[in-house]
C-alpha cells in the first residue's frame, strides 16, 4: 500500500502508456512526464506569491492580502487576470524582436532545470549522466535572457539593472558551483539520482544527508547564500531595487510579459532550492527512518516549502546590500570558504570515521569562518567615496 | 562573530510573525472600508462652498469675486458672474456665481483659494471617498455638488467654523447697529427738516 | 543523417550566418549564441553530454555575455546605415573557399571517414575525469597554471589603475 502510494504517479503513467501504440510511446512518455512539471511548478508559483505576501505581512505586523476570497486565497487568480488583461506596452525605440524573445527565453530556461531534479523515488524527467552540470549550464542561459531584456528596452534603468544582474549572477555562479562540488565529490557522480541514492540510508533513525557533516552544513549555507543572489532575491535584489532603479531589467515590460519575468524568477528560485535539497538535504528521502511510509514526493515538496519559507523570512528581515558589499561578500568570504570546504570534504573522505574526523573537519571550516568574518568586519572604512569616472 | 546581527534580525521578525497572530494590538493596519481612523480636524481634501440657511442656492456665501479663480495655481476653478444681485450673508446685495466649477482631478489641495477668500465662502472638505468610474464627469464638481451647509462645516472643522461664525455675527451686529442708527437718524432728520433728510439715508447705505 | 540532426544543423548554420550578416552588433552576438547552442545540441545528440553541456556553460553562459558586455562598453548601439562591404570581399571569399576545400579534402581523405563508423563508445563524465586526472594530468596542471597567471595579471592591472587615479 505504502509502495503503491509512493509510486502512484509512476504507475499511473505506465497505465496510461498502455493505451497508446508502441511507436508513439516514447513521445507520449515524454509528454506525460513533462506536462505535470509544467503545470505543477507554476501552480506552486501561484501559491508562493500568496504565501509570500501573507508571510511578509505578518513578519512586518500587517495582515497581507485578505480581500479576495477566504484569507485572500484567490489573490493569485486576481493577479493573473489583471496581468493577462493589461495592455502590453512595447517602448517605441525598443528592439521589438529581442524585447519579445527575452521573457520567453527566460521562462523556458527556468523550466529546463527541472529536467534533472528528482522529485520523488523514480520520479525524474531525465536521469542524466551529467545532471548537475546540465543544471548549471541551463542556469547560465538566464543571464543571456536578462541581458536581452535589459538591452532591448532602450531604457537606462533596464540597462543598469541588466548589468547589475549579470555582474551579480556571474560572481555568484562561481561559489554556487564550488559549494555544490563537495556533494558531487562525496557521491562520486554528477547524476542527481545517484547523489540522492547516496544519501538514502539511515543510521538508527538518522538519515545520511550531506548536511549532517561539517562540510555539508557549510556547503549548504554557502549554496543557499549563492542561490539567493542567483535568483535576485532580497537582500541581494540590487538588479531590481525598486527604490533605485525601479524594477531593473524588466521595467519596460507590462502585462503578461511582466508576469513571465516574475514566473521565471520564482521558477529559478524553486529550481535552485530543489537542487539544494537534492545535493544536501537528501532529495526525496524522509528525515527519520520511521517516517519513510510518507510518499517521497511529499517529502520533496515539504522540504521545498520549508526552503521557500526561509527565503521569505530572509526577505522580510534583511535590508538590501550595497554593490561593493555584495562583491566583497562573494570574493572575500564565500569563495575562500567554498574552496576550503572542498579541502575539508577531501579530508573527510580520507580520514577514518570517528570523533577525531568530526573535530578536525569542524575546525578546518569553523576557524577560517570566524577569521574571514572578522576580516569582513575590519575592512569597513567610513570615508568620503571617490568615483573613478564621475568627476 | 559573523552573522550575529542577521540572527538577531531573524529572531525579531519571527517574533513579529507569531506575535501578530496572538496579539491583535501588534497589527497597526486599519481595515479601511469597515474601520476608519478618527477624523483629524486639520485634515483637508478638496474645496467646497459654504451656504447659510436651508436653501443652498439662496444662502451661498460666494459673491463671485473671482479672487480664488485667479489665485488657483493649477487653474482648476471656473466662475461665471451673475448679471443680477441678491443679498449676501450680511444682507448687502451682491453678485452671485452663475457657474462655479472645480475640477478635483486637477486640484492639488493647496488651500490657497481658502486663504484668499474674503467672504469665508470656500472651505476645505475632508471627504476622501471620491473614487468614481467616470473620470471626466464625476470629478468635475458643479455649484450644486460643491455647496455644503454651514452645519456641515461646523461638524468637520468646529474651531475654525466657530471663529468664522463669530466673525459673521459681529459683522451682522455691526450692520444691524448701523442700519438701526441710520433709521434712527432718518427718523430724526424727517422729524426735523424734510428737505435736508434727502441725502442721509443714501450716505448711510453706502458706508 | 537523421531529421533531428538536420534541424539542428540548419539552426546552427542559420545562426552563424546571421551572426555575420546582421547589421546590429548585439543582434550578431545573439545570433552567434544560437549557433553555439546549436553546436551544443549536436554534441548532446551524439551522446557527448559533458562536451555539450560545457559548450553551453562556457560559450552561451560566458563567451556570449563577455562579447555583449564588450559591445555595450565600447559604443552606443546605433543601427549602421548602409551595408558595409569590404573592398576585399572577392579575395576573402576565395580564401574562404580555399580553406573549406582544404578542410573537406582532409576530412574526406582521412582514415576515419573511409573506415565507416566505429561502434559508439559509452563515454561518461567519470571516464573524462579519469583521463584528465591520470593520463592528461600534466597538460591540465599547465593549463591551470596559465589561467591562474592570467587571472593574477588581470588583478594586477586593475589594481595599478586604481592607485594611479588616487
Smallest Cβ–Cβ distance between B27 and the set A59, A63, A333 belongs to A63
CB distance from A347 to chain B under 8 Å?
Answer: no
> Do C and B share at least 3 CB pairs under 8 Å?
no
Q: Does A71 touch chain B (CB under 8 A)?
A: no
Task: Give the model's pLDDT for residue C160.
Answer: 58
CB interface of C with A, residues 62-121, below 8 Å = 62, 64-65, 68-69, 72, 77
Please answer yes or no on whether A141 and C56 come within 8 Å at the CB atom.
yes
Say whether the A–C interface has 3 or more Cβ pairs within 8 Å. Answer: yes
Task: Inform me whether the C-beta atom of residue C30 falls under 8 Å from chain A C-beta atoms.
Answer: yes
Min Cα separation C26/chain A (Å):
9
Whether A374 has its CB under 8 Å from any CB of chain B: the answer is yes
By percentage, how much of chain A surpasses pLDDT 70? Answer: 96
pLDDT (0 to 100) of residue C142: 94
Query: B145 and B88 in contact (C-beta within 8 Å)?
Result: no
User: Which string of DSSP letters, residue by residue, matches chain B?
Assistant: -TTHHHHHHHHHHHHHHHHHHH-GGG-----TTT--PPPPTT---SEEEEE-SS-TTTSB------HHHHH-TT--EEEEE-SS-EE-SSS-EE--EEEEEEETTT-----HHHHH-TTS-EEE--------S-TTTTTEE-HHHHEEEHHHHHHHSHHHHHHHHHHHHHHHHHHHHHHHHHHHHHHHHHHH-TGGGGSHHHHHHH-
* B61, part of any domain: yes
Determine contact, residues A337/A218, Cβ cutoff 8 Å.
Answer: yes
Asked, as a colleague might, if the bond just before A235 is cis with ω within 30 of 0, I would say yes
| Containing structural domain, residue B142 | 47-163
Q: What is the pLDDT of residues A364-388, one digit of tens each?
A: 888 888 888 777 776 666 677 777 6
Please report all neighbours of C, defined by 3+ CB atom pairs within 8 A: A
The answer to whether A58 contacts B29, with C-beta atoms less than 8 Å apart, is no
- CA angle at residue A27 from A24 to A32, to 5 degrees? 115
Dihedral sign of CA atoms A56, A58, A59, A62 in order: positive
- List B60's β-bridge partners, or say none: B51
Summarised one tens digit per residue, pLDDT across range A40-82 is 898 999 899 999 999 888 888 888 888 888 888 898 899 889 8
Closest C-alpha among B155, B168, B205, B176 to residue B61: B168
Residue B26 domain-assigned (yes or no) = no
Averaged over C126-145, what is the pLDDT? 88
Domain C1-60 is found in CATH 1.20.810.10: no
* Structural domain boundaries in chain A: 2-378
For residue A246, the distance in angstroms to the closest alpha carbon of chain B comes to: 26
CB contact under 8 A, A373 and B3: yes
Q: What is the pLDDT of residues A250-265, one digit of tens each?
A: 888 888 888 888 888 8
- What CATH number corresponds to the domain at position B154? 3.30.70.3270
- Give C57's contacts in chain A (Cβ within 8 Å): 133, 136-137, 140
What does the block give as the cell for C113? 571517414
> How many Cα neighbours within 13 Å face the side chain of A242?
4
* Confidence class for position A220, pLDDT limits 50, 70, 90: very high
Chain A hits for B19, CB-CB cut-off 8 Å, are: 61
Report the distance separating Cα A125 and Cα A122, nearest Å.
Answer: 9
Average pLDDT over residues A91-96: 83
Segment C68-114, tens digit of pLDDT? 888 777 665 555 555 566 677 788 889 999 999 999 988 888 776 66
**Boundaries of every domain in chain C:** 1-60, 127-166
Q: Chain B partners of A370 at a C-beta cutoff of 8 Å?
A: 1-2
The per-residue pLDDT of chain A, averaged, comes to 85
pLDDT tens track for A130-185: 888 889 888 888 888 888 888 888 888 888 888 888 888 888 888 898 889 888 88
pLDDT grade for C166, boundaries at 50, 70 and 90: very low
Tell me which DSSP letter residue A184 carries: H
Q: Is the ipTM of this complex over 0.85?
A: no
Tell which of C22, C71, C125, C148 to mutate to test the A interface (max A CBs under 10 Å): C125
Nearest-CB residue to A58 (from B9, B12, B17): B17
| Predicted pLDDT at C29 | 86
CA distance A260 to A263: 5
Rounded to two decimals, the pTM is: 0.78
Amino acid at each position: 500500500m505504502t509502495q503503491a502510494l509512493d509510486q502512484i504517479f509512476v504507475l499511473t503513467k505506465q497505465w496510461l502508456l498502455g493505451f497508446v501504440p508502441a511507436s508513439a510511446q516514447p513521445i507520449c512518455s515524454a509528454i506525460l512526464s513533462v506536462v505535470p512539471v509544467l503545470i505543477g511548478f507554476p501552480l506552486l508559483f501561484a501559491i508562493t506569491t500568496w504565501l509570500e505576501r501573507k508571510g511578509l505581512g505578518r513578519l512586518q505586523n500587517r495582515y497581507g492580502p485578505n480581500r479576495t476570497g477566504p484569507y485572500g486565497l484567490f489573490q493569485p487568480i486576481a493577479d493573473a487576470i489583471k496581468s493577462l488583461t493589461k495592455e502590453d506596452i512595447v517602448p517605441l525605440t525598443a528592439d521589438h524582436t529581442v524585447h519579445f524573445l527575452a521573457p520567453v527565453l527566460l521562462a523556458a530556461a527556468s523550466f529546463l532545470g527541472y529536467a534533472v531534479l528528482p522529485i520523488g523515488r523514480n520520479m525524474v524527467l531525465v536521469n542524466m549522466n551529467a545532471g548537475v552540470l546540465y543544471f548549471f549550464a541551463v542556469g547560465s542561459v538566464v543571464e543571456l535572457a536578462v541581458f536581452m531584456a535589459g538591452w532591448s528596452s532602450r531604457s537606462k534603468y533596464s540597462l543598469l539593472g541588466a548589468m547589475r544582474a549579470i555582474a551579480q549572477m556571474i560572481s555568484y555562479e562561481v561559489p554556487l558551483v564550488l559549494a555544490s562540488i563537495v556533494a558531487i565529490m562525496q557521491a562520486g557522480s554528477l547524476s542527481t539520482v545517484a547523489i540522492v541514492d547516496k544519501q538514502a540510508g539511515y543510521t538508527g533513525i538518522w538519515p545520511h544527508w550531506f548536511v549532517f557533516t561539517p562540510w555539508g552544513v557549510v556547503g549548504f549555507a554557502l549554496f543557499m547564500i549563492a542561490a539567493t543572489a542567483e535568483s535576485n532575491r532580497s537582500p541581494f535584489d540590487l538588479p531590481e531595487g525598486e527604490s533605485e532603479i525601479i524594477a531593473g531589467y524588466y521595467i519596460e515590460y507590462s502585462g503578461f510579459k511582466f508576469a513571465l519575468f516574475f514566473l521565471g524568477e520564482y521558477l529559478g528560485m524553486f529550481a535552485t532550492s530543489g537542487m539544494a535539497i537534492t545535493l544536501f538535504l537528501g532529495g526525496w528521502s524522509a528525515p527519520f527512518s520511521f517516517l519513510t511510509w510518507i510518499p517521497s514526493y511529499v517529502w520533496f515538496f515539504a522540504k521545498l516549502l520549508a526552503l521557500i519559507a526561509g527565503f521569505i523570512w530572509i526577505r522580510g528581515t534583511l535590508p538590501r546590500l550595497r554593490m561593493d558589499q555584495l562583491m566583497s561578500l562573494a570574493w572575500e568570504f564565500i569563495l575562500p570558504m567554498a574552496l576550503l570546504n572542498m579541502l575539508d570534504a577531501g579530508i573527510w573522505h580520507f580520514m577514518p570515521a570517528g570523533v577525531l574526523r568530526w573535530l578536525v573537519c569542524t575546525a578546518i571550516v569553523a576557524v577560517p569562518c570566524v577569521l574571514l568574518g572578522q576580516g569582513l568586519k575590519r575592512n569597513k572604512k567610513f570615508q568620503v567615496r571617490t568615483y573613478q569616472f564621475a568627476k | 562573530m559573523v552573522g550575529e546581527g542577521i540572527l538577531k534580525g531573524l529572531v525579531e521578525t519571527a517574533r513579529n510573525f507569531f506575535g501578530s497572530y496572538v496579539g491583535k494590538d501588534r497589527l497597526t493596519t486599519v481595515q479601511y472600508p469597515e474601520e476608519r481612523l478618527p477624523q483629524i480636524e486639520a485634515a483637508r481634501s478638496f474645496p467646497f462652498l459654504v451656504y447659510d440657511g436651508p436653501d443652498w442656492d439662496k444662502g451661498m456665501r460666494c459673491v463671485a469675486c473671482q479672487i480664488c479663480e485667479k489665485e488657483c495655481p493649477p487653474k482648476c476653478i471656473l466662475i461665471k458672474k451673475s448679471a443680477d444681485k441678491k443679498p449676501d450673508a450680511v444682507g448687502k446685495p451682491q453678485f452671485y456665481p452663475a457657474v462655479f466649477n472645480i475640477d478635483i482631478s486637477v486640484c492639488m489641495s493647496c488651500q490657497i483659494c481658502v486663504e484668499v477668500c474674503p467672504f469665508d465662502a470656500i472651505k476645505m472638505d475632508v471627504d476622501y471617498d471620491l473614487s468614481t468610474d467616470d473620470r471626466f464627469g464625476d470629478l468635475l464638481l458643479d455649484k450644486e455638488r460643491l455647496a455644503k451647509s454651514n452645519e456641515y462645516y461646523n461638524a468637520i472643522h468646529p474651531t475654525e467654523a466657530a471663529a468664522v461664525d463669530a466673525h459673521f455675527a459681529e459683522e451682522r451686529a455691526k450692520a444691524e447697529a448701523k442700519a438701526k442708527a441710520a433709521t434712527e437718524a432718518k427718523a430724526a432728520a424727517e422729524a426735523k427738516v424734510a428737505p435736508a433728510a434727502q441725502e442721509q439715508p443714501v450716505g448711510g447705505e453706502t458706508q | 543523417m537523421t531529421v533531428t540532426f538536420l534541424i539542428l544543423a540548419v539552426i546552427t548554420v542559420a545562426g552563424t550566418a546571421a551572426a555575420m550578416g546582421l547589421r546590429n552588433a548585439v543582434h550578431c552576438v545573439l545570433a552567434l549564441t544560437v549557433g553555439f547552442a546549436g553546436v551544443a545540441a549536436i554534441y548532446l545528440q551524439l551522446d557527448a553530454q559533458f562536451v555539450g553541456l560545457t559548450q553551453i556553460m562556457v560559450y552561451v553562459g560566458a563567451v556570449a555575455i563577455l562579447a555583449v558586455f564588450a559591445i555595450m562598453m565600447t559604443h552606443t548601439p546605433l543601427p549602421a546605415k548602409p551595408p558595409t562591404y569590404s573592398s576585399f570581399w572577392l579575395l576573402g571569399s576565395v580564401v574562404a573557399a580555399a580553406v573549406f576545400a582544404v578542410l573537406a579534402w582532409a576530412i574526406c581523405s582521412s582514415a576515419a571517414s573511409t573506415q565507416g563508423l566505429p561502434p559508439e563508445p559509452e563515454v561518461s563524465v567519470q571516464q573524462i575525469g579519469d583521463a584528465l586526472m591520470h593520463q592528461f594530468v600534466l597538460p591540465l596542471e599547465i593549463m591551470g597554471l596559465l589561467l591562474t597567471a592570467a587571472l593574477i595579471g588581470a588583478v594586477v592591472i586593475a589594481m595599478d589603475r586604481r592607485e594611479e587615479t588616487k
